[in-house]
Amino acid sequence: MKKNIILLGPPGAGKGTVGSKLSELWGLLLISSGDLLREHLKKGTDSGIRAKKYMDRGELVPDDIVVAMVAKEMSKPLCARGVIMDGFPRTLSQAAMLDRIFDSEDEVRVIYLEADDDFLVNRLSLRRVCDSCGKIYHLVNLPPKREGLCDLCGGKLVQRDDDREEIIRRRLEVYRKLTAPLIEYYRDKEILSVVPGNGRLEDTINEIKKIVKW
Ligand code: AMP
């Protein structure tokens, strides 16, 4: 029986940071659809090139591109114990697809990280990511030890193109319209728990550990 976590929440609620901590803690593979797309973009694959114009505008990438990437990742042996999903599903149709991939006996818990827009805009505009390993920093709350450089690999810290305020606002609109309906979808299945996304990482993780007792 696999143990799976779906991290749901608006951009900037901490899905990536929380996801990598939980992945370390529980030894489950973290699958970030945004990271998969950015990897494809970096490598210049056809899917990456097709996805770019949507990502630059803060829109969702068409399902066929994202679903193929996620399904491939989920078929890897590393997922044998389960996965932590960050940023997928983002639409009801992606959720239906994921339901078909999970086995009926698999455990699935959804953690909805909740935070308000002003908090999210602030967090995202001060976010920096390592260009080589993807580790996430915040200029005020989680700064690197050496300015501009990743603590883990020494890579260069950059601002994502879509972390500019006008694109952040669009991403939040898209979230509200297309992704927020998933809250009710998973609440109806009685697998959703709500956790504040604006607290300290340590507190968020402790809260999740209280809810998911693995
Ligand atoms: P993220 O890193 O999760 O903030 O995602 C960055 C961007 O990648 C989003 O604004 C979308 O353009 C795209 N993206 C990531 N995950 C998905 C998904 N599940 N469905 C469609 N587009 C996605």
Segments making up each domain of the chain, as ranges? 3-117+178-211
Whole-number pLDDT of residue 213? 86
Name the residue type at position 72.
K
Which residues form ligand 1's pocket by a CB distance below 6 Å?
A: 11, 33-34, 37, 54-55, 58-61, 66, 87-88, 90, 94, 162, 171
Ligand 1 atom closest to the Cα of residue 59 is 12
The residue whose CA has the least distance to atom 15 of ligand 1 is 34
The residue whose CA has the least distance to atom 11 of ligand 1 is 60
> Among 50, 61, 72, 130, which is best to mutate for testing ligand 1, by the most ligand atoms less than 8 A from CB?
61
- Cα gap 151→144, rounded to integer Å: 6
Enzyme catalytic residues: 15, 90, 127, 160, 171
Residue 11 CA, ligand 1 centroid: distance in Å = 9
pLDDT of 150 over the 90 cut: yes
How do 107-114 and 192-196 pair as beta strands? Answer: parallel
Taking a C-beta distance cutoff of 8 angstroms, is the pair 72, 93 a contact? Answer: no
Residue 175 CA, ligand 1 centroid: distance in Å = 10
pLDDT tens digits along 114-131: 999 999 999 999 999 999
Residue 31 CA, ligand 1 centroid: distance in Å = 12
Spatial strand order of the sheet with 192-196 comes to: 29-32, 83-86, 3-8, 107-114, 192-196
- pLDDT tier at 84, thresholds 50, 70, 90: very high
Residue 6 CA, ligand 1 centroid: distance in Å = 15
> Among 59, 72, 74, 90, which is best to mutate for testing ligand 1, by the most ligand atoms less than 8 A from CB?
90
Residue 143 burial by Cβ neighbours in a 10 Å radius (0-12, 13-18, 19+): middle
144-149 mean pLDDT: 97
Say yes or no: domain 3-117+178-211 is CATH 3.30.365.10.
Answer: no
Report if pTM > 0.85.
yes
DSSP code string of the chain: --EEEEEE--TTSSHHHHHHHHHHHHT-EEEEHHHHHHHHHHHT-HHHHHHHHHHHHTPPPPHHHHHHHHHHHHTSGGGTT-EEEES---SHHHHHHHHHHS-TTSEEEEEEEE--HHHHHHHHHTEEEETTT--EEETTTB--SSTTB-TTT-PBEE--GGGSHHHHHHHHHHIIIIITHHHHHHHHTT-EEEEESSS-HHHHHHHHHHHS--
- Cα gap 81→2, rounded to integer Å: 5
pLDDT of 214 over the 90 cut: no
